[in-house]
Structure 1
Amino acid sequence: MLRFLNACLLCGGLLVAGFLPAATARPVALTSSSATTPIPAAAQALIKHYKMQRIPAEGGWFAQLQRATEIIPGSALPDRYDGIAHPLSTAILFVETRQDFSALHKLKTAEIWHFYSGDPVHLLLLHPDGIAENVVLDHDHPAYVVPENVWQGSSPVGPAGWSFVGTTMAPGFIQEDFRLGERKILSQRYPAFRKQITALTRTKDQPQ
């Protein structure tokens, strides 16, 4: 696991700590994708403050922090990008809850995760060679690089029920680079991790 010094998180952690409401704050109208489970008050406050939008299919809530205006021509990128132009880089803020977890998916670009606040984040990584890996992001291990073309899914693990993170990518994210995982296919390929795969997918099969 790639580990960074706690000092890397200090500035972002202080900003978040200064913003979060008291534990006694009353929940507001936001609910998770289950439509019946209220989102914890601290997570609601972040979603409202950053005007986050729900991510369809994958799950979770995001706000675009940065999307470079410079464009990389598709001809200058590796073959896996299929000749499609990309922004130079992108960065988002992301909130996930137990219900609004990040479902298993893969990307054509390595994604750098940064932990800010809330519960530790459990990442399940399924590598192309059949190897699977469990990674936990928290204040002691606040950053991790998920390689390109690795299936990844995540959810909070802890009493708060939510996590606040950020991710950065270069070249930047475009929708064509995203592929959602299928429960049946992934369970067949990684049978020892069938239970985790089930927990990190929302339907048995997803369209290609």
Structure 2
Amino acid sequence: MEIKDLIKHFNLEPHPEGGYFKESYRAQSKTQTPNGERNVSTAIYFLIPNGKKSAFHRIASDEVWHFYLGVPLNIFEISPYGTLTKVVLGQDLKAGQKLQHVIPAGTWFGAIPENNSGYSFVGCTVAPGFDFEDFEMANRSKLIEMYPDAKNIIEMLTD
């Protein structure tokens, strides 16, 4: 399936961190969080085309990424202790790729299709549910100041 076909089929819209998304689920039940009342869970379809990225950001909830279609997706995380890790979502399990991956709440992370080619089509499930009030885009210079060892990746995944 081509990028334009996925965008049309799933009614995807531009996402602030890059790529295209569409919310596919929002639980009706609610829960209290330190930031206020939130839906218990949410889910989106998320498309990252060649030349685009999911820029470094963090949210206040755990987020599970699920691989669906396309080229493998490189996810880069910076732990609160400054450890940089790379996880590859994809279908080549023998090569260590994963079909799903959990990003802990408060972790800085970004993603880009492997070799910056093709596209990666994934799903993201958040619990407690996603709310833009809990979403923070990274500031390049501040993130580099905090995590200088990750400078190259931060520069690649920030604007």
Structure-1-length-normalised TM-score? 0.71
Q: Following the alignment from structure 2 to structure 1, what is the Cα–Cα distance between the partners of residues 120 and 112?
A: 8
Q: Following the alignment from structure 1 to structure 2, what is the Cα–Cα distance between the partners of residues 151 and 175?
A: 15
Q: Which residue of 1 aligns with 2:132?
A: 175
Q: Following the alignment from structure 1 to structure 2, what is the Cα–Cα distance between the partners of residues 169 and 50?
A: 19
Q: Deviations over 1:21-56 (max 9, x none)?
A: xxxxxxxxxxxxxxxxxxxxx122111100001012
Q: Following the alignment from structure 1 to structure 2, what is the Cα–Cα distance between the partners of residues 162 and 67?
A: 25
Q: Which residue of 2 aligns with 1:157?
A: 114
Q: Which residue of 1 aligns with 2:79?
A: 127
Alpha-carbon distance, 1:152 to partner: 0.7
Q: Which residue of 2 aligns with 1:91?
A: 43
Q: Following the alignment from structure 1 to structure 2, what is the Cα–Cα distance between the partners of residues 134 and 184?
A: 21
Contact 1:60 1:95 in 2 (8 A): yes
Q: Following the alignment from structure 1 to structure 2, what is the Cα–Cα distance between the partners of residues 158 and 108?
A: 30
Alpha-carbon distance, 1:160 to partner: 4.1
Q: Which amino acid aligns with 1:166?
A: G
Alpha-carbon distance, 1:159 to partner: 6.9
Q: Which residue of 2 aligns with 1:54?
A: 14
Q: Which amino acid aligns with 1:120?
A: P
Q: Which amino acid aligns with 2:43?
A: A
Q: Following the alignment from structure 2 to structure 1, what is the Cα–Cα distance between the partners of residues 111 and 80?
A: 18
| Long gaps (5+) in structure 1 | 1-19, 21-41, 203-208
Q: Following the alignment from structure 1 to structure 2, what is the Cα–Cα distance between the partners of residues 183 and 159?
A: 20
Identity over aligned residues, as a percent? 36
Q: Which residue of 1 aligns with 2:30?
A: 71
More strand by percentage? 2
Q: Which residue of 2 aligns with 1:29?
A: none
Q: Deviations over 1:59-106 (max 9, x none)?
A: 11001110111122x3xx3xxx33x10011100000002333100000
Q: How many residues align?
A: 154
Kindly report structure 1 stretches of 4+ aligned residues shifted beyond 3 Å.
Answer: none
| Long gaps (5+) in structure 2 | none
Q: Following the alignment from structure 1 to structure 2, what is the Cα–Cα distance between the partners of residues 98 and 196?
A: 17
Alpha-carbon distance, 1:191 to partner: 1.6
Q: Which residue of 1 aligns with 2:4?
A: 44
Alpha-carbon distance, 1:158 to partner: 3.7
Please identify the structure whose Cα radius of gyration is greater.
1
The verdict on how the C-alpha distance between 1:98 and 1:191 changes in structure 2, with shifts beyond 3 A counting, is farther
Structure-2-length-normalised TM-score? 0.92
Q: Following the alignment from structure 2 to structure 1, what is the Cα–Cα distance between the partners of residues 145 and 20?
A: 30
